Amino acid sequence: MRAFGQAAGTAGPPGSDRGSPTVTRRRWLEQAGRALRGTEASRRTAELLLCAVLDTTRVALIAHPDREVPPEAEERLAELLARRLAGEPLAYLLGWREFYGRSFEVDAATLIPRPETEHLVDEALARLPERTVHFADLGTGSGCLAVTLAAERPFWKGVAVDISEHALETARRNAERLDAADRLTFVCADFTRPGFWDAGDAGLHLVVSNPPYVGEAEYAALDPGVRDYEPKTALVPGPTGLEHPRAVVEAAWHILRPGGLLLMEHGATQGEAVRALCPPERWQDVETGRDLAGLDRYLAAVHR
């Protein structure tokens, strides 16, 4: 464990030195925060790890800072800190990430839900009236989109599709924990396969999707925290990055009813290319939505 203290350029955290006395929560947080670079975000990371390992809340940590960290917990914490310092995303260490105010289980087979994907939820809820809506989520991963829509609108019903059976199991568990499982069906399928849409319902009101859209060259330049830990199949569809967005637009055209809405996330430089996938004889009201950074982030298009 000394190695990770050295990697951070600071002394190791409590527990990194075998035989060191037991430490209090306060002291562990101070030292772990420093090892993680000493920023406000580092302190928050240290708190989240300590809460997870002690199975307690932030309020309890603040209320009882002088309680001792048991030696077994210290060992587990040292291991998690070493993994974080090596670049592993916090969400994989904790086993969850928050999305639209709910906690979603994640693991190495599921993409970590991103805040920019919440725009698809905002847009769907704002555009569709308060009545029964039948929807599909193509490439559901952790289920963050499908489960959130079903949780926000208990009278909506959805099909969550993914090529990864492992990801679907995680999505199913998230749906059960968040009381949305009875309105969702989980289907293991490849949405790029010609005729994928033949097996399903052709009268949907809504298709949402955050498909893999990173091209091979862009992937090589990604932050190692993403490239080395998140599943490549969730990120890269092929050389250009447009292969799966094209397949989603095609599938959506077949499974939406006339007037049905497609909302699909894409890369910040893909707005124009993605709009070009929606010819006027098939789609109307084709628009690009922006994220909070002002970058092109998603397609909205209405089936003719």
Ligand X SMILES: C[S@@+](CC[C@H](N)C(=O)[O-])C[C@H]1O[C@@H](n2cnc3c(N)ncnc32)[C@H](O)[C@@H]1O
Q: Which residues bind ligand X (CB under 6 A)?
A: 111, 113, 117, 139-142, 144-145, 161-164, 167, 190-192, 210-212, 233-234, 244
User: What are the C-alpha distances in Å from 300 to residues 127, 148, 249, 257?
Assistant: 10, 19, 11, 15
Neighbours of 267 (CB within 10 A): 18
In the bound state with ligand X, the residue whose beta carbon lies nearer, of 79 and 88, is 88
- For residue 265, the minimal CB distance to ligand X (Å) is 7
Supply the minimum distance, in Å, between the C-beta of residue 196 and ligand X. Answer: 8
Residue with Cβ nearer ligand X (31 or 142): 142
CB of 258 to ligand X, least distance (A): 25
Under a CB-based contact definition with an 8 Å cutoff, are residues 112 and 89 in contact? yes
Cβ 300 to ligand X, closest distance in Å?
A: 16
Q: Cβ 113 to ligand X, closest distance in Å?
A: 4
Q: b/e for 63-90, b at 16 or more Cβ within 10 A?
A: eeeeeebeeebbebbbebbbbbbeebbb
Q: What does the DSSP assignment read for 173-213?
A: HHHHHTT-GGGEEEEE--TTSTTGGGGS-S-EEEEEE----
Residue 30 or 169: the one with the smaller Cβ distance to ligand X is 169
For residue 109, the SS3 value is coil
Q: Which is nearer to ligand X, 191 or 283 (CB)?
A: 191
Q: Nearest distance from residue 202's CB to ligand X, in Å?
A: 18
The nearer residue to ligand X, 30 or 137, going by C-beta atoms, is: 137
Can you read off the two tokens belonging to residue 209? Answer: 């999707």
User: Nearer Cβ to ligand X, position 34 or 266?
Assistant: 266
Q: What single letter denotes the amino acid at residue 171?
A: A
